[in-house]
Structure 1
Amino acid sequence: MVIAISLLSDSFLTPDNGWNILRQISVNLCLSIGMTLIILSGGIDLSVGAILALAGAVAAGVLKNGIALPMFDILLQFSLAGAVVIGIAVGFMLGWFNGFVITRFRLPPFVATLGMFSIARGLTMLWTGGFPVTGLGEDFSFLGTGAVFGMPMPVWITLALVVLFVVITRKTRFGRYLYAVGGNERAARLTGINVNSIKIWVYALGGALAGVAGLLVTARLDSAQPNAGLGYELDAIAAVVIGGTSLSGGRGTIMGTVLGCLIIGVLNNGLFLLNVSPFWQQVIKGLIILIAVAIDRINANDQER
């Protein structure tokens, strides 16, 4: 794909475009790491784009306007670090609620997270009044547009997250339990693993990573858009599946997801440089997801034989 696009466009194989691709995939990579954990556990999350929007809006709102407590005649003001923590905490709590509903009431993850999608979108509109929150300051914008040692800040942040979750999934007890739950939930219960706890933590981490993605989007635009994150679930699921994670759970890696994000990023960038219609881009990504899932099912059937 890289060879084909570079032959068709002189602007593709340039350092600036390379950094641009990495900067563009940083948001999707944050979402996709969380989605990888969720899919490894045998679940799915359709609410990450909506959680992204709400987390970004809340962080922007408390940073710019603070939180008023009329009963006590108090206005709480937040620093940049405080706003970042609030944004991630919002994502964590919404993800935790997803996991709690799924485990406590045994709802299908598809249904539970679809409900959260609607809840988070509505809360975003209520928080912002349907209008963007702008003028967040240079310090906040630095998270999305700044660079350290020539590398964009979003790339630094996602690189740190990749290293962290590679270690978690490969070297920790939580990682081993995660694969066990996704591979065979009944067997995991019989061996004494607290399956419900693992699932709740997985969805909570997915929500927190969606919160990080919301901060990056908001910082890059220097505004919190009420409709931010629309359709981001598609790219996240596509990256995870293309990266080799099985939709049935128990098989996949974070590094595979990184590769999947790179493939999606290169594809999006190449289609843009070649002036392909955005509508055709959606068609092509949808076909890629179908092909990736079909290959996954063929591989799974071969292993069962």
Structure 2
Amino acid sequence: MRRLIQGRTTEFTLLAVMVLLCVGLSFGTDRFLTISNAFDVLNVSAVNIIFAVGLLVVLISGGIDISFAVAASVVQYLTVLALTALGGGNWAEGFLVAGIIGIGLGAINAFLVYRLQIISIVATISTFNIFFGLLMFFTKGVSIYNLPDWLSTRVVFYEHEMADGSWVELTLPVVVMILCCAATSFMISRTTTGRKLYAFGDNPEGARRFGINISAMHYISFGWLGLMAGIAGLMQAHYAQEVVPNALYGRELDVLAATVLGGARLGGGKGSVMGCVLGVLLVSITQNGLNLMGVSPFAFKMIVGAIILIAITLSSARFDKLLPDTLKSSARKGGQG
């Protein structure tokens, strides 16, 4: 039991903070600590959690990606256009097309990082702007409101009317989120590939000498995030009942903050799906409580920025692991001079 607690320190800490936060917010507004609001938070958080478990894999491998939210916007737009042109399609075809496009966009990032040796954060800043620029240029910012029937029809697995007239709903995005979490957890903790990703993120040179395929690690990690981004984009379109080109713009910082808060280490080699989920929920609970209390949304942005700053400061990994060896050598020589 003691070993379990020591291995899950981050998760237990987040749970304790969430409990204290919920108690505190319940004094600020009587609408917060209700079952219907709890399900609302879960439904709203589903897309971010899908993003987060994808980003977790990239962080474990020692990289970083901030282009995934824009990639999801590209995926949902192209998927809807493609299936509409083919007669409408269905859920199976939707997931297939979204997954293929998402993996393809992830592979572009992997190519830039591995083949062209561009720092992952620089490469994904570039693709972030390229993807978004191309999307806005070709769509002219026009949203799609006429979605295929299978995508626009709400799928509710459970619903119940409460005594106060509010409704409790368990929607499709939550179920898909659970499946994505389970798949990611299985991949990183139960497969040889997952162990290689941890090893590569913790010690890239040691992993290379041990014979781990470095190219595969890059393409698997960024490809997995691309797959999750494609699925998340489809779930966002289903939840919002529309496809808005810039709807997910800016979501990447919230997800990054939550994922690092959940224990994923900048620099690689550490992170868990449970911590990732708890991190997203903690950020979502904070935002939900502040909204119910009438606090300005700009205050929440300040909190997210503080979370990122604190997480980087307290991270046990050296941030220079994200830099190539040439830059690290130059930095050391400059310091000696």
1:48, 1:136 → 2: CA distance?
A: 23
Match of 2:243 in 1: 224
Match of 2:89 in 1: 79
Moved over 3 A (4+): 297-300
Match of 1:278 in 2: 297
1:289, 1:165 → 2: CA distance?
A: 23
Paired residue type of 1:111: V
Match of 1:294 in 2: 313
Per-residue deviation, 1:55 = 0.6
Which of 22, 29, 38 does residue 58 from structure 2 map onto? 38
1:242, 1:141 → 2: CA distance?
A: 34
SS in 2 for 1:130: coil
Per-residue deviation, 1:239 = 1.1
1:114, 1:128 → 2: CA distance?
A: 21
Contact map agreement 1:29 1:258 (CA 8 A) in 2:
yes
1:78, 1:148 → 2: CA distance?
A: 23
2:55, 2:83 → 1: CA distance?
A: 28
Per-residue deviation, 1:274 = 0.8
Contact map agreement 2:268 2:317 (CA 8 A) in 1:
no
Paired residue type of 2:34: T
Write out aligned runs for 1:184-263 (5 A). 184-263=203-282
Per-residue deviation, 1:46 = 1.2
Match of 1:69 in 2: none
> Once structures 1 and 2 are overlaid, which stretch shifts more, 131-140 or 118-127?
118-127
TM-score in terms of structure 1 length:
0.90
Contact map agreement 1:63 1:136 (CA 8 A) in 2:
no
Match of 1:169 in 2: 188
1:115, 1:17 → 2: CA distance?
A: 38
Q: What is the root-mean-square deviation of aligned Cα atoms in Å?
A: 1.7
Paired residue type of 1:287: A
SS in 1 for 2:252: helix
Establish whether residue 140 from structure 1 lines up as the match of residue 151 from structure 2.
Answer: yes
Contact map agreement 1:48 1:232 (CA 8 A) in 2:
no
1:27, 1:149 → 2: CA distance?
A: 18
1:56, 1:63 → 2: CA distance?
A: 11
> Once structures 1 and 2 are overlaid, which stretch shifts more, 90-99 or 125-134?
125-134
2:32, 2:38 → 1: CA distance?
A: 8
Per-residue deviation, 1:127 = 4.2
Match of 2:323 in 1: none
Per-residue deviation, 1:128 = 2.5
SS in 2 for 1:148: strand
2:226, 2:253 → 1: CA distance?
A: 16
1:94, 1:63 → 2: CA distance?
A: 19
Per-residue deviation, 1:113 = 0.8
In the alignment, structure 1 segments of 5+ residues that lack a partner are: 67-75, 301-305
Match of 2:114 in 1: 103
Establish whether residue 18 from structure 1 lines up as the match of residue 27 from structure 2.
Answer: no
Contact map agreement 1:52 1:228 (CA 8 A) in 2:
no
Establish whether residue 2 from structure 1 lines up as the match of residue 11 from structure 2.
Answer: no
- Cα 1:138–1:7 change in 2 (3 A) is farther
Match of 1:115 in 2: 126
- Cα 1:84–1:128 change in 2 (3 A) is farther
- Cα 1:132–1:246 change in 2 (3 A) is same
2:65, 2:31 → 1: CA distance?
A: 36
2:50, 2:138 → 1: CA distance?
A: 24
Paired residue type of 2:143: P
Establish whether residue 27 from structure 1 lines up as the match of residue 47 from structure 2.
Answer: yes
- Cα 1:138–1:272 change in 2 (3 A) is farther
Per-residue deviation, 1:297 = 3.7
Q: How many aligned positions are there?
A: 288
In the alignment, structure 2 segments of 5+ residues that lack a partner are: 1-20, 160-169, 320-337
Per-residue deviation, 1:78 = 4.5
Sequence identity, in percent?
33
